[in-house]
Amino acid sequence: MSVSVRSDSWSIEVYPIEIEFPKIDDHARSDTGIDYVHTFDSGVPGPHVMINALTHGNEVCGAIVVDSLLRFGLRPRRGRLTLSFANVQAYARFDPAQPDKSRYVDGDFNRVWMAPVLDDCSHRSVELDRARAMRPVIDTVDFLLDLHSMHEKSKPLIVAGPLDKGIELAVQLGTPATVICDEGHPEGRRMRDYEGFGDSGSAKNALLIECGQHWERRAVEVARDCTARFLLLCGVIDKSDLPPGWLEPLQRQMTVVRVTEPVVAESMNFRFAGNYTGLETFAKAGTVIGWSDGEPVVTPYDDCVLVMPSLRQLRPGVTVVRLGRIEARVDLDRIDS
């Protein structure tokens, strides 16, 4: 069961850890020369596809999937396949008594993906060093699937970025049922938006999947299904190559939500009006959803959707929720489930 921990200004749910954390040290050595990053080349023409886990050290479902694929011995029939664990130092710090503390070591690995920042080696941190180490492989990737999970127990969603090509890839994937289109975060660029992934003129493309709450069993099932479908969609494997039981039935409709603005904490004095976990929709503009330094935060339009609200990483300058407008509903009846 889960319990609530109450502070002076908000209630934080403490979720149970339902999954076992894989021991990934067996995967440290790699022919790529980059620890925990494994690339397999089929020798047959095709795209370079990457499945990445542990962008954040406490987001375990992706690590379970990548560990499983490596132990299963999955190899591409066409093109190249990279299976990687990113922020392994943060993962190594995981403490069940303080499970949110292992998100990163020095700074968020998923906010450093700007070429000028990566090029400037006068600034160093655990996360910058790791990004620079992985960069030569990522520069060669055509299609990236970045597996994440969420602070709060919410329905899974696809973060497709701001471009039409990301939305199109998300709809082709067909799951999860909610597609979030956004510009990213004020603190810095995500890996899924790096270089060609975030360039409308490039054929490269990327999706980030938020599979569920960090430690719930269901998040692993979602991560397996999305990974299997991504590999099939990119054409690097056949269905018979997959571990048994990874594919799940598709839902019949996807909802596309366009993020219009972030809500950024100006201080530690921020609280929500309810125990929101994500994808709550408010029918009327002007609905109070929280308070920042005592001032109300209201919905800017009708049918406003809350995207990944959380106060677990609260500090000045952090995005505590993003606000979105429903842009489209896509019928998936013609997609084979």
Report the CATH number at residue 48.
3.40.630.10
180 lies in the same domain as 297:
no
157 with 305, same domain? no
Same domain as 286, residue 237: no
Any domain includes 302: yes
Q: Is residue 238 in some structural domain?
A: yes
Verify that 324 and 188 share a domain, yes or no. no
Indicate if 80 and 198 belong to the same structural domain: yes
Clarify whether residues 158 and 238 are in a common domain: yes
Domain CATH for 320 = 2.40.50
- Mean per-residue pLDDT, 124-134: 98
Q: Residue 44: how many CB atoms within 10 A of its CB?
A: 11
4 within domain boundaries? no
- Same domain membership, residue 300 and residue 157: no
What is the token pair recorded at 22?
A: 């894989």
- Domain contains 75: yes
Q: What is the pLDDT of residues 245-264, one digit of tens each?
A: 999 999 999 999 999 999 99
Q: How far is 254 from 332, CA to CA, in rounded Å?
A: 7
Convert the pLDDT of each residue in 192-249 to its tens digit. 999 999 999 999 999 999 999 999 999 999 999 999 999 999 999 999 999 999 999 9
pLDDT band at 321; cut points 50, 70, 90 = very high
Domain boundaries, position 77: 12-252
Does some domain include residue 57? Answer: yes
Mean model confidence pLDDT for the chain: 93
Segment among 6-15, 16-25, 143-152 with least mean pLDDT: 6-15
- Note whether 165 and 29 are same-domain residues: yes
Angle between the N-to-C axes of helices 217-234 and 60-72, in degrees from 0 to 180, rounded to the nearest 10: 50
Question: How many independent structural domains does the chain possess?
Answer: 2
Residues 211 and 290 in one domain: no
HEC-encoded secondary structure of the chain: CCEEEECCCCEEEECCCCCCCCCHHHHCCCCCCCCCEEEEECCCCCCEEEEEECCCCCCHHHHHHHHHHHHHCCCCCCCEEEEEECCHHHHHCCCCCCHHHHCCCCCCHHHECCHHHHHCCCCCCHHHHHHHHHHHHHCCCCEEEEEEEECCCCCCEEECCCCHHHHHHHHHHCCCCEEEECCCECCEECHHHCHHHHCCCCCCEEEEEEEEECCCHHHHHHHHHHHHHHHHHHCCCCHHHCCCCCCCCCCCEEEEEEEEEEEECCCCCEEECCCCCCCCEECCCCCEEEEECCEEEECCCCCEEEECCCCCCCCCCCEEEEEEEEEEEEECCCCCC
pLDDT (0 to 100) of residue 185: 80
If asked whether residues 208 and 68 sit together in one domain, one would say yes
| pTM greater than the 0.85 cutoff | yes
Q: Same domain for 57 and 202?
A: yes
Is the same domain home to 193 and 299? no
